[in-house]
Chains A and B, each alone.
Chain A
Amino acid sequence: DTEVTQTPKHLVMGMTNKKSLKCEQHMGHRAMYWYKQKAKKPPELMFVYSYEKLSINESVPSRFSPECPNSSLLNLHLHALQPEDSALYLCASSQDQRIPTGGQYFGPGTRLTVT
């Protein structure tokens, strides 16, 4: 099973709202990632968790707050977002952050619209 699941599929939120994106994988992968993707652009890395610890933060604004409750789950908490944060948010996982074998497996994404 090479599936990464994400919920919700679509999310519309106001600039004062607080919401969360969820990601889950059951492949035994120990590295999990959040990406942001704008239309007709490649994914941009936001955060990396390795063995449930934050490994990389690509200078993401604090209105995005990641959380890794256990090795299978990854959350992205959203607060006071701006309209320019509207994008497709992708979760990915890989066997181990240090070993690039097998690539990263992506979920279907959450389409976020900030109004």
Chain B
Amino acid sequence: EDQVTQSPEALRLQEGESSSLNCSYTVSGLRGLFWYRQDPGKGPEFLFTLYSAGEEKEKERLKATLTKKESFLHITAPKPEDSATYLCAVPLAAGNKLTFGGGTRVLVKP
């Protein structure tokens, strides 16, 4: 069964304390893995698409990497404005239906 799991569920960081979020997946024939950022009460904001193992994408303090079984979102020297829920998602084989992980709620304290 196709499954996407994120860990940890919540992460509390001090400003400047780098950390990583994990997204593990069991999907036959990966057709891409997407990372989103979601602020409370708002829609998810598209961050990255990764397609193949070894691929990396960067945006400001965020860096996403992909292996054959999981993806990591590294947050380097985070700032309070990086506080949000980070979601990963993969499209299922049929119909590009996104299967989301449960999300990781990140809180960065000044």
Q: Which residues of A contact B100 (CB under 8 A)?
A: 42-43
In Å, the complex CA distance between A73 and B100 comes to 25
Nearest Cβ on chain B to A29's Cβ, whole angstroms: 12
In Å, the complex CA distance between A31 and B91 comes to 14
Contact status of A88 and B41, CB under 8 A, knowing A42-B103, A56-B97, A100-B31? yes
Chain B, interface size category, equals 20 to 34
Instruction: Determine if B46 and A105 form an interchain contact, defined as CB atoms under 8 angstroms apart.
Output: yes
- 0/1 per residue, B90-104, Cβ < 8 Å to A? 010001111011110
Contact status of A31 and B102, CB under 8 A, knowing A43-B44, A102-B49, A106-B46? no
Instruction: Determine if B98 and A104 form an interchain contact, defined as CB atoms under 8 angstroms apart.
Output: yes
Nearest opposing residue in chain B for A106, CB measure = B43
If A48-B95, A100-B31, A103-B32 are given as contacts, then 12 extra A-B residue pairs at C-beta distance below 8 Å, sorted by A number, are A6-B43, A40-B103, A42-B87, A42-B101, A45-B97, A56-B95, A90-B43, A101-B49, A103-B46, A105-B46, A106-B36, A109-B43
Which 7 pairs show the lowest CB-CB distances between chains A and B? A42-B100, A106-B43, A100-B91, A103-B34, A100-B32, A106-B44, A109-B43
A interface with B by C-beta (< 8 Å): 2, 4, 6, 31, 40-43, 45, 48, 55-56, 88, 90, 92, 94, 97-109, 111
What are 30 A-B pairs with beta-carbon distances under 8 A? A4-B43, A31-B96, A40-B103, A40-B105, A42-B103, A43-B98, A45-B97, A45-B98, A48-B97, A55-B95, A56-B95, A97-B95, A99-B96, A100-B31, A100-B91, A100-B96, A103-B32, A103-B34, A103-B46, A103-B49, A104-B34, A104-B46, A104-B98, A106-B43, A106-B45, A106-B46, A109-B41, A109-B42, A109-B43, A111-B41
